[in-house]
Chain A
Amino acid sequence: MSMQTGLVTSTPQLRTYAPTTDVSVAAPAPRLEIVRAEPVTARRDPRTEPGPIRLVIIALAITFLSVFVVLPLVVVFASAFSKGVVAYFAALAEPEALAAIKLTLLVAAISVTVNLVFGVIAAWAISKFEFTGKTFLITLIDLPFSVSPVISGLVFVLLFGAQGYFGPWLQAHNVHILFAVPGIALATIFVTFPFVARALIPLMQEQGTQEEEAAISLGASGLQTFFRVTLPNIKWGLLYGVLLCNARAMGEFGAVSVVSGHIRGETNTMPLLVEILYNEYQFVASFAIASLLAMLALITLVAKTILERRLDEAEVPDGD
């Protein structure tokens, strides 16, 4: 929902083109530039509230966000550095921490790549052609957003676990999916499935098919058309999807927790290690890992904001 609303804010006919249930994507900030560009005529304007009420509303908003959102973030860094910088870096240099960082990067690389390819393919089929059931297909792609992370992990236990449908076969052939990297990657692919497709579909629908049709009629092959015409047009949207997909892949906890088995140094991703260390009262170590994830979140937010501006600028020449 949120991601889509933001991406297509400038196009009213697209904003509501399909109901979505994205319950986990970071939403882009709407086009503040436009709002800001309007002359501020607060004083005589019948469209605003008396001064004291304005102050109360602003104070409530700032207090709420500070207490519920900013403070937890500050706590992460304060706790991570509570025993000093040396303890912080010592915690990050632990073999267990390094193993978790490596595994997280590996799993994110796998799931982002897979979802990138799928996302582009799905977006091409959905946005460049007309067919019945399109809205339903988009709803299906969105499904992982509305499934509890724990259930996203559970389904793979039911498929590949010892009592699962493929469990006996896998055991007989000595293939390890659950409590191993493939299971963690599968669960992560599941939860991050919609991100890239969701970022591309509204963008590609808006761009239409004229440019591609022109390329084809001039003799370009399908792949040439995609790489020379479509890809340059969607590169920022694609990057946007990859960014959000990556953030979620690295930060996923519930789904991965169910399929990982928590084998120390082997199947613990960074979020899982945060949990383990916290439960062992190793607060500095736990928050040191958590601070890396928090930084990832902050960098993602900044990059997202920049990308949104790019996307907005890219839309302007189309007439807005």
Chain B
Amino acid sequence: MVSTAVARRSTLPGFGLTMGLTLTWLSVIILIPLAALFLKTFELSLDQFWGIVTSRRTLNALKISFGLSFAAACVNLVMGTIIVWALVRYRFPGRRLFDAIVDIPFALPTAVAGVALTQLFAQKGWLGAPLAELGIKVAFTPIGIFIAMIFIGIPFVVRTVQPVLIDLDPEIEEAAASLGANRWHTVFRVILPSLIPALLTGFALAFARAIGEYGSVIFIAGNLPNVSEIAPLLIVIRLSEFRYADATAIAVVMLVASFLIIFLINRLQRWAQARIPVH
């Protein structure tokens, strides 16, 4: 088989075949199912769609999901920066172990994380009990959702910023120092600004993940409508009530939001690329 005209400058075979298979399978598994979601939404009139999305319960679920995800991503941004700084810049016992530990929220199945966090923060749990004595109830409240979202998001900031901080040219810092900048100025005026694209990308990834997160949140959330009910759970509830239209409308809002975040991340990466001098 000869490569098609599209495959320029390559004498390797199989472009037509592999590209055809790729596009077919991509369409069958990803594109057609996602299209079905939008198609289903078009069966609704605009008024119906708007009615569902702006109903009190949906609106509250969306607010809880987006608001807490944003707050959790902010915590991840700050704590992620501190963790990545410690891991890259300092040497301490157990550093490599803690570096590996950062990946656990990625690797641990979400349902396992969910039951574990609930057990940990429940009223009789290892952390829940002391917190309850202080009058803070975490499990089955929005704080629980917030905690679960922090757990799930932390690797994104660390793993996005880590390679950039490692690759950062030491000469920049040395130059700043030799020009008389104190350490504080060097960190906040020289190093952090060059990490901004990576930090924002990590933030956006953590934010996006938290919005869609289901397994690690629903156990600890309490799932009280309008109070601690996240949008993905509301989709599941609507489905179990056979209210497909409602489920679909909420899903479309969430999907569009995550597409916007992808778009934003793409922009960020291009911006980052433009800032990095060519090697």
Contact = CB atoms under 8 A, between A and B. Distances in A.
A124 B18 CA distance: 7
Contacts of A247: 107
A164 B242 CA distance: 11
Contacts of B150: 68
B88 to A, nearest CB: 7
B30 A193 contact: yes
Nearest to B244: A163
Given A32-B96, A151-B235, A251-B109, A130 B83 contact: no
A265 to B, nearest CB: 18
Residue of B102, B125, B261 ringed by the most chain A CB atoms within 10 A: B102
A217 to B, nearest CB: 7
A231 interface: no
Contact of A297 (B34, B86, B109, B211): B109
Given A69-B102, A283-B119, A125 B19 contact: yes
Contacts of A64: 79, 82-83, 154
Given A5-B163, A121-B22, A294-B108, A149 B215 contact: yes
B227 interface: no
Nearest to B168: A47
A48 B106 contact: no
Nearest to B91: A40
A254 B82 contact: no
B126 A75 contact: yes
Contacts of B266: 19, 139
Interface string B7-38: 11111111100110110011001111110110
B112 A251 contact: yes
Given A19-B266, A253-B109, A283-B119, A148 B258 contact: yes
Interface string A114-147: 0000100110111011111000010111011011
A273 B18 CA distance: 39
B37 A67 contact: no
Interface of B: 1, 3, 6-15, 18-19, 21-22, 25-26, 29-34, 36-37, 39-40, 79, 82-83, 85-92, 94, 96, 98-120, 125-127, 147, 150-151, 154-156, 159-160, 162-163, 166-167, 170, 173-174, 177-178, 183, 186-187, 201, 205, 208-209, 211-215, 219, 232-233, 235-236, 239, 242, 244, 247-248, 251, 254-255, 258-259, 261-262, 265-266, 268-270, 272-273, 276, 279
Interface of A: 1-2, 5-6, 9, 12-13, 15-16, 19, 21, 23-27, 29-32, 34-35, 40, 42, 46-50, 54, 57-58, 60-62, 64-65, 67-73, 75-76, 79, 118, 121-122, 124-126, 128-132, 137, 139-141, 143-144, 146-151, 154-159, 161, 163-165, 186, 189-190, 193, 209, 212-213, 216-217, 221-222, 225-226, 247, 250-254, 257-258, 271-272, 274-275, 278, 283, 286-287, 290, 293-294, 296-298, 300-301, 304-305
15 contacts: A6-B159, A19-B268, A19-B269, A29-B103, A58-B92, A124-B18, A140-B31, A147-B255, A150-B251, A222-B14, A251-B108, A253-B214, A275-B219, A278-B118, A283-B119
Given A1-B201, A1-B205, A65-B154, 17 more contacts: A1-B156, A15-B163, A16-B272, A19-B266, A23-B156, A27-B106, A75-B126, A79-B116, A131-B19, A148-B211, A150-B214, A158-B40, A186-B29, A251-B112, A254-B232, A290-B116, A305-B100
